Amino acid sequence: MLLGKKGKLLLTIKVIFLLDLFLLIGCLPKAVINSPAVEATPIVDSTPKATSTIALLPIVAQTTVPIESSGVVLVNENFNDRSYAAPLSYYTGTAYDYPINYQQNESDYSLQFDHSNSGSSGIGTISNLENYLEDGIYFRYWVNYPESYYFPGDMGTFDNLKMLKIAGTSGDIEFIYKDSAGGGPKSLQLYWNNSIGDLGGTRTGTVPLGQTLTKGVWHKIEIYIKIAAPSVVHVQIDDYNVYQNTNADINLPASGYTGTQQFMSVRAGNSGTPEAGHGIWYHDNVTIISGGGDLCDEEPPALKAATLITQDDFENGALWQYLEHWDIYDSYLFDEWDIVSDNPHSGQYCAQSKSPGPDVWTDDSVFTHSLPLDKNEIFIRFWFKASPNLSAWWAQFMRFFGDGGDLEIGMGVDGGGGDILINTGESTVFGTTQPIHTGWGDFLSSTSWTEYAVYINYSENELYFWKNAAHYNLTDPSFHSIPVNWQHKYSRFISPIYYKREITDGGSSLFWVDDFEIWDGIPAQ
């Protein structure tokens, strides 16, 4: 599990709300809707697509999963042909499978639902589930809540988002995102009736998601359930193991869980529905496999072996000390930060750049740390937010120092065509001395919290980039890479070397950084 503020937040004991008390005494919530029979015919969008007022979202590339020879693929749908068929069905808040709205991004499509119309909009169901629970069933799907979406916590209320609900005569199986604060759910509650009639799973307790269910990015949900003894429950969010129980003791028999069952997101009604324009969310790439075993992805051993070099979440507040986390390099690179509680990415504090001083070099706000030369991988990620009017004459976002030359990321922001560029004096590294595009866009426009991640792999001769990634691999929509020819390893990292120059308006020149981490490889996710 990752260190720092995310870990601290996710491990914080959640307040037990009245809903939890009801669950504890056995008053399990009932199905939100009565499910009509699902038609065994394709659901096809035959109408012209309406023009969307929401910015187009990147669509997750359809990926494959390992399937055992005994497994039966019940659903494998990416919606690109704007159709789907039973046993898959969706309740839109109006009716089953009507109206179905498809969101287009180039040639790809995803489903669009709107909780502003109904808290039930987007319930995904599968029919005849009792036929598959005994031998085990695997669900995988993707969701995206854009920045404009209001989670219940954003509305100042407590509520749930259900990721799975299977209702039966002997009790329900429910997995629920717990959302008691703004910014997105951070934990998950799981429960079911066990063989002695008590609640199994986490009961009223919760487990951390591994990261907040952040907005504006695609999140991968994976669930495996097997009722036959020994019962198994396995849940992953973005390849992070949220919960795994190989002796879950789910009350038998599977025949008690009949009919059409929910497997995906429904918004509970405690907080009401968000106002118009703040309830739209997206769903894509659903895969459901019966009898194929637990197909939830496991991180390769190499990913789990990564070691944290340094991290800073600034949660010491006024007691924060720069040298507890960072180095001093040369006379002009030193501590120029204020630790503030004004809208941090997570927790209570973040780092705010100081207003420019008389010397743009010595008064710049930077972090720097040495890098190990005996490692073949370096992974760096942090969250960044710019003032709405932030500008720069010449700015660097990152800089790697080495014996053979420097690697400068961000050179030419003022003339880079809206993209962060890479520049190096070594023509052998990229085969050119001309700037190379990262695909990150212009960091000066990141006026809301944005995660940037860069990964150097000396063995593979590749430089990788992600922006607001759901997970750090080649299938993430934000992934970019650049082939390189490393001539040496870098011994030091500095970010951001900003060069604020002659800006005199302190309010316009500020930017913020939070949740900074440097690893010697990609960490377990």
Give residue-wise pLDDT tens across range 380-428.
999 998 887 776 656 677 888 877 667 777 745 444 455 666 666 555 4
What per-residue confidence (pLDDT) applies to 513?
Answer: 92
In a domain, 43, yes or no: no
CATH number for the domain spanning 14: value is 2.60.120.200
Dihedral over Cα of 343, 239, 234, 32: its sign: positive
Q: What is the pTM of this model?
A: 0.52
Same domain, 279 and 324: no
Domain final residue pick, 297, 314, 349: 297
Same domain, 130 and 204: yes
Class of residue 424 by CB neighbours under 10 A (exposed 0-12, middle 13-18, buried 19+) = buried
In a domain, 159, yes or no: yes
Domain count, the chain: 2
What per-residue confidence (pLDDT) applies to 341?
Answer: 92
Domain final residue pick, 297, 320, 338: 297
Same domain, 355 and 414: yes
Dihedral over Cα of 241, 518, 322, 494: its sign: negative
Same domain, 343 and 198: no
Domain final residue pick, 241, 269, 297: 297
Same domain, 330 and 264: no
In a domain, 63, yes or no: no
Same domain, 17 and 156: yes
Question: What pLDDT digit, counting tens, does each position of 477-516 carry?
Answer: 777 777 776 777 888 888 876 555 444 444 457 889 999 9
Same domain, 312 and 280: no
Query: Domain range holding 409?
Result: 302-519
In a domain, 352, yes or no: yes
Same domain, 184 and 291: yes
In a domain, 57, yes or no: no
In a domain, 44, yes or no: no
What per-residue confidence (pLDDT) applies to 44?
Answer: 36
In a domain, 62, yes or no: no
Q: How far is Cα 347 from Cα 363, in angstroms, rounded to an integer? A: 27
Same domain, 258 and 189: yes
Question: What pLDDT digit, counting tens, does each position of 83-114 carry?
Answer: 999 999 999 989 999 999 999 875 678 999 99
End-to-end Cα, the chain, rounded Å = 7
Please calculate the CA angle 135-167-35 and round it to the nearest 5 degrees: 110
In a domain, 42, yes or no: no
Same domain, 187 and 327: no
What per-residue confidence (pLDDT) applies to 306?
Answer: 78
Does the pLDDT value for residue 20 go beyond 60?
no
Same domain, 164 and 291: yes
Enter the tokens of residue 153.
Answer: 């916590």
Between 174 and 507, name the one with better pLDDT: 174
Which amino acid, 315?
E
Same domain, 402 and 337: yes
